[in-house]
Amino acid sequence: MTGSRILGIGLVLGTWFAPVLPSPSDRGDEGISVAQGQEKKPDEKKPEHLSKEVAAAREKGLDWLTKNQEANGAWGKSYTIGITGMGCLAFLSATDEPFTGERGKSLVKGLQFLMDNQKDGMFLTQGQSVRTWIHGQGFASLALSEAYGRSLFCKVKPDIDVQKIRTAVVESVKAIAKNQSKSGGWYYTRGHLNQDEGATTVCAVQALVSAENFGIEIDPQVIDKGFEYLKKSQNKDGSFNYILGDGQSMKGGTAAGVATLGLMKKFDFTVMINGYKYLLDFTPARMSAPHTPWYFPYYGHYYGTMGMHLLGQEYKDDKEFRTNTTRYIAETQKELVPWQQEDGGWPNKGWIKDQEKGETNAYSTTFAAMTLFVPEGRLSIYNRIPPKLPKQ
We report the CATH number of the domain holding residue 300 as 1.50.10.20
Instruction: Single out the residue of 100, 98, 88, 185 nearest to residue 139, CA to CA.
Output: 88
In a domain, 389, yes or no: no
CB 213 within 8 A of CB 202: no
Domains in the chain, number: 1
In a domain, 161, yes or no: yes
Least-confidence region, from 26-30, 194-198, 222-226, 321-325:
26-30
CA distances from 341 to 58, 88, 106, 217 (A): 12, 21, 21, 42
Q: Which residue has the higher pLDDT, 128 or 87?
A: 87
In a domain, 120, yes or no: yes
Is the confidence at residue 390, as pLDDT, over 50? Answer: yes
Is the confidence at residue 389, as pLDDT, over 70? Answer: yes
CB 335 within 8 A of CB 285: yes
Residue 118: which residues within 8 A CB-CB, separation 6 or more? 140, 168, 171, 172
Which band of pLDDT confidence, cut at 50, 70 and 90, is reported for residue 6? very low
In a domain, 89, yes or no: yes
Q: pLDDT value at position 1?
A: 38
In a domain, 343, yes or no: yes
Is the confidence at residue 50, as pLDDT, over 80? Answer: no
In a domain, 123, yes or no: yes
Is the confidence at residue 42, as pLDDT, over 50? Answer: no
Instruction: Single out the residue of 32, 39, 113, 33 nearest to residue 70, CA to CA.
Output: 113
In a domain, 392, yes or no: no
In a domain, 390, yes or no: no
Q: pLDDT value at position 293?
A: 53
Mean pLDDT in the chain? Answer: 87
Q: Which residue has the higher pLDDT, 346 or 251?
A: 346
Domain limits for position 280? 3-9+12-382
CA distances from 351 to 213, 296, 340, 342 (A): 33, 6, 18, 23
Which band of pLDDT confidence, cut at 50, 70 and 90, is reported for residue 391? confident
